[in-house]
């Protein structure tokens, strides 16, 4: 009869099962072209940014004393919007590749982003949600600057660019922005709960036995040395088996 703390014996995988597992594991590289495509999108946004900046400079040079402050502010907010979307792309490209495809091996690099050292799926989702809130805030601020009169006839509002906004449209824009905020708070709360549960489970696990728990091997006779090594290996096996049981129970 086996002891409750003895490690479980598993039948080795067949070559076909192992091959399927390796195939599924290597399928993560199918995502690499997607991240390369996002790099191309990043380059396109550089062109968009430079075009917007050129138009702003051209408008200022054309009539530098008559241009309104709100026009400049709207153009600058458009540039900030492009930059924030570009930052979102960077987080998706680097964080997604690091999390789902392969390690980039930037440890110790002076230009390593601060958030990349502890990135995981939950952290990436929270950071993406915060970036989306920032982009939504820019769009909402542009709407508030463009709108002149919320009490315009027929339920429409004139803006600085000559178009029209409806009160219902502005209302739903605010609602959608609020939903983004609530979603980000919920993701951060879920991430905090999961990290707290993981920390509690880690504290409840017994510590792995170390070589310091045994007599120095150099002072033992060969028979005693073999017995000590066997006891050490059995203790390690029992520890990792208990760790596996706890992980499966989460």
Model confidence at 35: pLDDT above 90: yes
Q: Are 159 and 165 in contact (CB under 8 A)?
A: yes
Of all residues in the chain, what percent carry a pLDDT higher than 90? 16
Quick check: is 15 in a domain?
no
**Number of domains into which the chain is organized:** 3
b/e map 17-47, b = 16+ CB within 10 Å: eeeeeeeeeeeeeeeeeebeebeeeeeeeee
Mean pLDDT, to the nearest integer, of 37-49?
94
By three-state DSSP, how is residue 158 classified? strand
What is the residue whose two structure tokens read 């530098």? 64
Residues 90 and 45 in one domain: yes
Model confidence at 223: pLDDT above 60: no
- Which residue among 93, 119, 145 closes a domain? 119
Tokens of 8: 């479980």
DSSP 120: -
The CA radius of gyration of the chain, in Å to the nearest whole number, is 29
Tokens of 174: 């605010």
b/e map 148-169, b = 16+ CB within 10 Å: eeeeeeeeebebeeeeebeeee
Tokens of 191: 């991430």
Quick check: is 4 in a domain?
no
Quick check: is 10 in a domain?
no
Quick check: is 9 in a domain?
no
- Which residue among 119, 143, 161 closes a domain? 119
Q: Are 53 and 97 in contact (CB under 8 A)?
A: no
Model confidence at 161: pLDDT above 60: no
Range of the domain at 111: 21-119
Quick check: is 14 in a domain?
no
- Confidence category of residue 220, pLDDT binned at 50, 70, 90: very low
Given CA atoms 72, 78, 79, 84 in this order, what sign does their dihedral have? positive
pLDDT at 112: 76
pLDDT at 176: 92
Model confidence at 32: pLDDT above 70: yes
Quick check: is 78 in a domain?
yes
C-alpha span between 49 and 79 (Å, rounded) = 6
- Confidence category of residue 19, pLDDT binned at 50, 70, 90: confident
Of all residues in the chain, what percent carry a pLDDT higher than 70? 66
Mean per-residue pLDDT over the chain, rounded? 76
Mean pLDDT, to the nearest integer, of 128-133?
87
C-alpha span between 202 and 11 (Å, rounded) = 28
Residues 29 and 47 in one domain: yes
pLDDT tens, position by position, 111-130: 777 767 667 777 778 888 88
Residues 52 and 93 in one domain: yes
Residues 150 and 78 in one domain: no
- Confidence category of residue 47, pLDDT binned at 50, 70, 90: very high
């Amino acid at each position: 009869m086996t002891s409750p703390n003895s490690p479980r014996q598993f039948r080795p995988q067949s070559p076909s099962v192992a091959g399927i597992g390796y195939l599924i594991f290597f399928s993560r590289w199918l995502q690499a072209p997607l991240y390369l495509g996002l790099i191309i999108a990043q380059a396109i946004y550089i062109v968009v940014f430079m075009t917007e900046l050129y138009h702003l400079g051209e408008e200022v040079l054309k009539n530098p004393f008559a241009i309104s402050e709100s026009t400049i502010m709207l153009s600058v907010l458009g540039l900030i919007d492009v930059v924030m979307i570009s930052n979102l792309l960077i987080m998706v490209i680097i964080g997604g590749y690091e999390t789902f495809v392969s390690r980039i091996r930037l440890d110790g690099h002076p230009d390593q982003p601060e958030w990349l050292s502890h990135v995981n799926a939950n952290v990436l989702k929270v950071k993406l949600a915060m970036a989306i809130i920032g982009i939504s805030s820019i769009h909402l601020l542009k709407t508030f600057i463009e709108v002149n009169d919320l009490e315009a006839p027929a339920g429409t509002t004139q803006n600085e660019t000559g178009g029209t906004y409806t009160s219902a449209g502005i209302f739903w824009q605010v609602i959608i922005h609020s939903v983004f905020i609530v979603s980000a708070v919920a993701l951060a709360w879920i991430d905090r709960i999961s990290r707290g549960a993981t920390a509690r489970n880690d504290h409840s696990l017994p510590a792995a036995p170390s070589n310091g728990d045994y007599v120095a091997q150099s002072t033992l006779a060969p028979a005693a040395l073999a017995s000590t090594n066997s006891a050490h290996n059995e203790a390690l096996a029992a520890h990792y088996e208990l760790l596996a049981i706890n992980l499966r129970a989460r």
